[in-house]
Structure 1
Amino acid sequence: MVGFIKLLMELVNNIHDILITIFDQLGFHLTDKDLHFWIVGVIGIVLFILTDQLFKWLADWNVSIISFIYTFTVLIVLVFSIEIEQKITKRGHMEFNDIVAGLWGFIAVFSVYVGIRLIVYIISKVFKSKEKNV
């Protein structure tokens, strides 16, 4: 896990240095704060537009899909936070496999939930169709 985070940090730092160099060569002498302002702003608005369109399309199918995506995203942040906390406090081991196990746990329990909802839905459809035939 530490190796993975270090790899991500190295990638972000390299992109940061490349962007600073490009903007300097273009005559824009941006501070680190300026760079964060513009890059996160642009990434954020692009992500918002894409997400907004995707969620509008998914909402035509079922709002529960959006709820699942939101929950899964929050859980990703949560499990990474837990692992980072374990590394900082030295109370446990920071491992990528813990993150994967936690997310698989959600998918497994969510699958049971969907299965139960499907069974209830099928049973209700059967009873409604029998009531119409009576």
Structure 2
Amino acid sequence: MKEVILLLADIVNRIHDALIERFGLTMTDKQLHFWVIGIIGIFAFFIVYFFFKLIASMKWSITILSFIYTFTMMVVLVFAIELQQALTGGDMEFADAVVGLWGFLVFFFIYVVIALIILAVIKFMRRKK
């Protein structure tokens, strides 16, 4: 996990240096963050907006959107916990984050199976009447 974060930091530093060398930009970190995160964010917004509009037209749209939001929140939580462990001297492992996310996926799958069984029983009972 620590290696992944260090690799990402190295990539960001290389991009920063390339922007300075290629375009002669002399930006502070705050200015660079403003532009790069702003541009990435607006592109991400348009992509997410397109897919969410598509999902909204589906039968289970609220469930799908709830899953996407919850999964995103769990990714942030898992990595926040791993970073906290690193800052307090504990072991920061990417595998821990992955296993934690698998836990959420397994429990969500169990929920889906139970919900489908309940829906099937309700549908069967309505047909009998």
Shared fold (TM-score, shorter chain, > 0.5): yes
C-alpha displacement of 1:5: 1.4
CA distance, structure 2, for counterparts of residue 22 and residue 63 of structure 1:
46
Shift of the 87–31 alpha-carbon distance from structure 1 to 2, 3 Å rule, reads closer
Larger Rg: 1 or 2?
A: 1
- Tell me, what secondary structure is at the counterpart of 1:94? coil
Q: Which residue in 2 is equivalent to 1:23?
A: 23
Which segment is superposed worse, 74-83 or 55-64?
Answer: 55-64
- Tell me, what secondary structure is at the counterpart of 1:42? helix
Q: Which residue in 2 is equivalent to 1:71?
A: 70
CA distance, structure 1, for counterparts of residue 83 and residue 28 of structure 2:
28
Q: Which runs of 4+ in 1 moved over 6 A?
A: none
The one-letter amino acid paired with 1:43 is I
Alignment TM-score, normalising by the size of structure 1: 0.88
After TM superposition, the structure 1 = structure 2 runs for residues 1-134 of structure 1, keeping only pairs within 5 Å, are 1-24=1-24, 28-61=25-58, 62-90=61-89, 92-131=90-129
CA distance, structure 2, for counterparts of residue 117 and residue 83 of structure 1:
32
Contact 1:79 1:102 in 2 (8 A): yes
C-alpha displacement of 1:11: 1.2
Task: Kindly indicate whether structure 1 or structure 2 has the higher relative contact order, using CA contacts under 8 Å at least 6 residues apart.
Answer: 2
| Unaligned stretches of 5+ residues in structure 1 | none
1:41-82 superposed Cα distances (whole Å, 9 cap, x missing partner): 111111001101111101111221111111111111111110
C-alpha displacement of 1:114: 0.5
CA distance, structure 2, for counterparts of residue 45 and residue 6 of structure 1:
26
CA distance, structure 1, for counterparts of residue 127 and residue 119 of structure 2:
12
CA distance, structure 2, for counterparts of residue 96 and residue 29 of structure 1:
35
| Unaligned stretches of 5+ residues in structure 2 | none
Shift of the 29–8 alpha-carbon distance from structure 1 to 2, 3 Å rule, reads closer
